[in-house]
Structure 1
């Protein structure tokens, strides 16, 4: 019997307010801030992390300098170019408003519109042009054109924004959550200011001064289809803003701050070491120009009144460099994968990149400055000896431009990037490639794996691979991540230990890989998850050693590559600078698409840099104006739901959960249902018995003290969806699953799996069969008919090796109160064999909450071995 189970109350009141309560949050501020430590109850901490914009009086005419809102909207639409269906509808709506006389459209032609854009451009800092002279060898300097916004001007624009300034954090923090089991405070890391480097930086600042931390990104990308035209944007973000804001595309998000020159390849020079150095010097001289406005402030500080009315002494610096490995070598002026010591963070020899046991000398700004100064000094008398020193350390003969900025160490700034090092690196280029080369030898295996990808259950934000994966050649990082998380579950029984030892060992390595990416990607890192994450990398490294020993001539893979080694720096980076999503290139990569569209659709393909930065600036200004218009609209009318199902939803106050049933159908009788299929057999009797037992157990008296008795003519109300809100174990914030119980959802049946909480057995996986509401004494009781699946406790060697949580179907269906639903789940068939149709596997890597939930409730099951 399943009964309602109350949600965990993370803010449960204690009897003694002076004693810490379970899950309380303690925040210790850096001593120079002068702020005392504070303790918050868990729900109070959640409210502090709500980064909704602070309401301010809206500008009544935010579209200025345009004469009307319609003028601005049409100009914006022209800027956006190639119209989609939504844009066409938008244009129609605008013109209808004009036709009805509710607004004015006064623009006469494109020339006037461009004049208005020029006027509007003054709302935000504009690009400047600079010439960067750099000589190659002893020749005359070559002149390169840089377009840039001074970094300090951009920072001041953020600092003076009332809404953004009120969201910024300034002082380093150490944050703890109270563990009532051990009666101790456990540290956790999330934002950059809660990690170690921010604290160390503030140690070096005068009392009361605060760091102003920049996230730096630069990457060369293709603008044309064949790659003949390229762009080189520099994008900055402010780490003092929460990640939810500075990683967003809107207000307070990333800003293109520079358009770097690209040195043309030359047959006479390309491939030569000094030409690679020359290109790096052009890059650093350009970046030096972008940041020259903050150099002095980084040394002496700058005192100003910020937008929130507080006067602060600010020390700007680069905290994080978000980049792929190739770009990191440019940032650090190292010699890349061909160097004797290819890593940008330590001096590991290039033939020891699989070594996870030994320690190697860490690179630091001071050490690099000393080495380069020594080499440049010796070069005056012996260029050969100078080159030998630099080659030994894989450095280039030039002083890094970032060294001019105080508290900025490029070797510390460069960061582990989940996109290029894991999803599109270690997985796509190595593990996946090796696995495919093994599977592709057997057509049966290809077909089976492809079919499982095609039939994999749908879930929000999860890519669906309609054609399988055999045809995929180029993917974006998010697809690679989903492919890696599904692969083990799609291929696990197509490769056996007896028939293919090397392939089976690769599957075991894949389990360790998905464990490590799940730990690394968590949005809050506790001392426990950090320790588990480090252990996951160790297990992965040991698995690779076993894989190398089991390799055959058909599967001969060299695992000595830099992106494997970089795993050694992953957790150090997290402890130093915060969780990975604050360092990831993913938010920055999203800029390349719009910039490419500007090039392809709005330039003349000549002198494109000037045209691109002008149009990009117009886009920034348009976004700022649109933000103000959206604020005005929100101020003028109440918010309306975008969900068409909301009008059909039933609000049901259920303890600490907030559940909503949706997609309401017409009432049906029990008799109609019972004649529709065996799953509904005797349903009116089962529901009667269930509610007669449930209500007293829940403290609700039975009507007239008698057991409930429905008959076949009584009606119930079916629903086909339910929204379940729960506290995520990963983010500690409320999240919502929209679960379906629908025989025809987008032309296919969808009966989602759920986790239910039971009083006797704890969490249980189940599949929804039917959602409905019964009424007893004028009170609605939402219920579900479910098929439960129990964990198979007697585990096979196969399941232990690959870390599977296997389930077996119960013989009968059961009724539950929807209060019992914890969250949704993905559960997949364990085999294509009809004789094993009752067995399923839990997809434990669905998201961070599911991953941690399974680890907590079924310890050891998904570890692999």
Structure 2
């Protein structure tokens, strides 16, 4: 070998790297799908949301936000008992302490009564579990599942996702010439666009609902053999940021499948099928009856993506171990085999023989075989955790150990300097057992520096080895970009090509004999998969494995460990109801008139009309907005209300409140609180007053679905909104103390000026001091001074971020 080895990271590539990073941080140019009907309702009739339906069941308890619980403490203890509590028996023992129920004013005195309230009066918005028995080889297996269509309806119609659902595919580009494509969320990929186009020919105006299924067997106990086999469902209409956060509840537990190894069946059945061959049959039987159903709606659920590790991918595609679940089996072969089996009478022997000749498992009825627009091999997506961290990186560490020896690598590992982002393995990495994906991720941050400058045995040049390691690390990091352009995908492909160019060094060192590694081969499909379904964080098994904690392990711990699955499903249903009710309490529908009287939003109707007009056409002038707003009518009568906005970033942690007067649990009055904020008019920078103005937040709200359908039928509706009362613009700071003086902004009739704005334009909260003479007005109080005083000083001293921002 010689040192003159071409490096794919040449000067031109470095410039391309800088250019693509610039593109990823700039606004994209969007090409919308050429259809105005996708995502539109069938008619103008309004169907009540789950929150509205639940509100109607409360009757005369409309003024109690915690109903059916009596008081806040009644609800908080119930929430603790089901979300963080020790267990039903311990909760009952706690409540049996003398007088505790009476002292706290609880509506239940044990877990049984609490469960009855939850079961009879709360709703989760999600379907109940169904218990079903299936027979395989004469053996009965219990399956717990939910109706898949009802699960999709629950996600599609969840009020929590109002304003974030995506209804149509889009093409995004880095420039107006549409030369460089950008991929990120699922709706920016080619699959949705192509499927929408094909569906449009059959059903004009139809909406694609991409169904995403994931499954994985998991251990329920640290010791022992108790396992669960959960199957999860979500939809591609939800942005990936929502789908991958368990707290957003964008995933639904669809089923618990039998996790038995079928040993009894293997010993007693006369069927030639082995236990390994029976497991896929159990899996498919539970999908067959449900995936074929369709919405009686303009939305069409279409199975799009399957997420799972390599054994699960083989199970779903009927492929055998060692083969590729994406490209080794032509999609039409299974259909041909099934047709051939039908012609010979469907005998088990003939069927098994035909499948064996095709290299697939003998599964008679794969759930996907008759689903429209489905190519199961294309639906298999990249798996960063198992294919890279627990696959290629795991192999790479072993190869480097054989090449250089564990002693020297660990010696270098011990001497790495500390850094905030680097985990130090003070005992080295070569003696680690059962290394997790997270640990492999930590090791990747310094793996390359461990081998730089190390010589190989027999005087072999290490150039090819170093470049092979660099290429794999480049591929690893590039593959996890949250957004990709055509340029970054070329770099991803080039990184893989570079590894293949240099990998022969491991064969020369007698570390590898061949490269028959399915996980290495799977990397060939990453670029095409990203183009089809968006970036890899749309389908990473790391996120679904996190769901095991909530949906399997915690559920199991809440049981008595005997016949656990019925108990687990009930526990999960009650937990979902608690989470749903918690969201309902934080999101209340308020009548227009109530918004005026309780929140002081005197001009809410006029301000909202102006906002709707300007949002639909930002180029209108003020007179045009005023003229068009007079034509806005309200065919709905409630707003969805929030009481605070949280700001959280590396530089700021802040909360803004907008809450009316109320009574506490003892009936004592609590005054309202309406905070002041810094608003960005679109031109404000990271510091200084230019482009900013102060306003008082009187109402934080969102339009209900019927309003969005009325005003924004063909576009994405606005998200969270705020009703703001304005203060005058900044002028010059006081020459002595340097603070800015502002006043309440009024029109010629002395009425307060107010507007409806998008919450995203609020920079942060700000603190005002009342302007006073030598003696401050004694009638002012902390809760009334903002309403009764006219002039204020803007304080820069509330926190360091405010101090740095204002000057």
TM range (shorter): 0.5 to 0.7
Measured in 2, the distance between the counterparts of 1:409 and 1:189 equals 21
1:239 to 236, 240, 260: 236
Count of aligned pairs: 563
Residue in 2 that maps onto 1:518 = 477
Q: Is residue 393 of structure 1 aligned with residue 359 of structure 2?
A: yes
Query: Is 1:537 the equivalent of 2:496?
Result: yes
The C-alpha deviation readout for 1:257-313, integer Å capped at 9, x for no partner, is 211112334278389863322111011102224xx1x5231xxx522xxxxxxxxx1
Q: Given that residues 121 and 617 in structure 1 are in contact (C-alpha distance below 8 angstroms), is that contact kept between their aligned partners in structure 2?
A: no
Confirm or deny: 8 A CA contact 1:551 1:557 kept in the other structure.
no
Which residue number in structure 2 is paired with residue 458 of structure 1?
Answer: 420
Q: CA deviation at 1:619?
A: 2.0
- Tell whether 2:277 aligns with 1:277: yes
Which residue pairs with 2:566 in the alignment? 610
Shift in CA distance, 83/474, structure 1 to aligned 2, threshold 3 Å: farther
Is the alpha carbon distance of 1:78 and 1:438 closer, same or farther for their aligned partners in structure 2, counting shifts above 3 Å?
Answer: farther
Give the deviation of 1:227 after TM superposition. 4.6
Q: Does 1:123 align with 2:85?
A: no
Shift of 1:402: 1.8
The structure-2 alpha-carbon separation of the partners of 1:515 and 1:379, relative to structure 1 and needing over 3 Å to count, comes to farther
Which residue number in structure 2 is paired with residue 224 of structure 1?
A: 221
Alignment map for 1:324-363 (pairs within 5 Å): 324-337=309-322, 342-347=323-328, 363=330
Q: Separation in 2 of the partners of 1:433 and 1:61?
A: 62
Q: Distance in 2 between matches of 1:498 and 1:439?
A: 8
Kept in 2, the 8 Å contact 1:375–1:389? The answer is no
Secondary structure of residue in 2 paired with 1:507 = helix
Say if 1:187 and 1:556 are closer, same or farther in 2 by CA, change over 3 A.
Answer: closer
- Between 600-609 and 559-568, report the one with greater CA deviation: 600-609
Instruction: State how 1:671-686 maps to structure 2 within 5 Å.
Output: none
8 A Cα contact 2:306 2:381, kept in partner: yes
* 1:167, distance to aligned residue in structure 2 (A): 1.7
Q: 1:64 aligns with which of 59, 67, 83?
A: 67
User: What secondary structure is seen at the aligned counterpart in 1 of 2:387?
Assistant: helix
Cα distance in 1 for residues equivalent to 2:226 and 2:252: 22
CA distance in 2, matches of 1:535, 1:557: 24
Pairing 1:626–2:582 present:
yes
Match of 2:380 in 1: 414
Alpha carbons of 1:149 and 1:143: their partners in 2 closer, same or farther (altered >3 Å)? same
**Alpha carbons of 1:385 and 1:431: their partners in 2 closer, same or farther (altered >3 Å)?**
same
Task: Kindly report the root-mean-square deviation, in angstroms, between the aligned alpha carbons of the 2 structures.
Answer: 4.2
Change beyond 3 A, Cα 1:505–1:119:
farther
**Shift in alpha-carbon separation, 1:645–1:407, aligned structure 2, 3 A:** closer
SS at match of 2:166: coil
Partner of 1:496: 455
Partner of 2:518: 562
Aligned to 2:371: 405
**2:410 matched residue in structure 1:** 446
Asked if 1:551 is matched to 2:509, the reply is yes
1:589 to 530, 535, 545: 545
C-alpha contact (below 8 Å) 1:129/1:145 kept by paired residues: no
1: CA distance, partners of 2:553 / 2:186: 33
The CA deviation at 1:383 is: 3.3
Out of 12, 19, 25, which is 2:28 matched to?
25
TM-score of the two chains, using structure 1 as the length reference: 0.58
Equivalent of residue 635 in structure 1, options 632, 636, 642 = 642
1:192 partnered with 2:183 = no
Residue 658 (structure 1) aligns with: 686
**Unaligned regions of 5+ residues in structure 2, if any?**
1-17, 39-54, 57-61, 589-639, 655-677, 689-759, 764-795, 798-803
Q: Does the C-alpha gap of structure 1 residues 76 and 33 become closer, same or farther in structure 2, counting only changes over 3 Å?
A: same
Counterpart residue number, 1:114: 115
Any conservation in 1 of the 2:182–2:485 contact (CA below 8 Å)?
A: yes
SS of the equivalent of 1:157 reads helix
Structure 2 Cα separation of the partners of residues 484 and 415 of structure 1: 23
Segments of 4+ in structure 1 off by > 6 A? Answer: 57-60, 98-101, 640-647
Q: 2:429 aligns with which of 469, 481, 495?
A: 469
Distance in structure 2 (CA, Å) of the matches to 1:30 and 1:80 = 43
Q: 1:260–1:283: 8 Å Cα contact kept in structure 2?
A: yes
Hey, what does 2:692 align to over in structure 1?
Answer: none
Inter-partner Cα distance in structure 1 for 2:327 and 2:489 = 21
Partner of residue 201, structure 1 = 195
TM-score (norm: length of structure 2): 0.62
Distance in 2 separating the partners of 1:117 and 1:503: 66
Residue of structure 1 aligned with 2:80, choices 77, 81, 85: 77
Give yes or no for contact 1:174–1:194 (8 Å, CA) kept in 2.
yes
Find the aligned partners of 2:413 and 2:534 in 1 and give their Cα distance.
37
Gaps of 5+ in 1: 1-7, 13-21, 36-56, 304-312, 348-361, 661-732, 737-778, 781-817, 820-865
Kept in 1: contact 2:384–2:536 (CA 8 A)? yes
1:336 counterpart SS class: coil
Deviation at 1:438, TM superposition (A): 3.7
Post-superposition Cα deviations, 1:308-355, rounded to whole Å, max 9, x if no partner, equal: xxxxx1111111111101001111122222xxxx111111xxxxxxxx
User: Could you say which residue in structure 2 is the equivalent of 1:143?
Assistant: 140
The one of 172, 175, 179 aligned to 1:175: 172
CA distance in 1, matches of 2:379, 2:649: 41
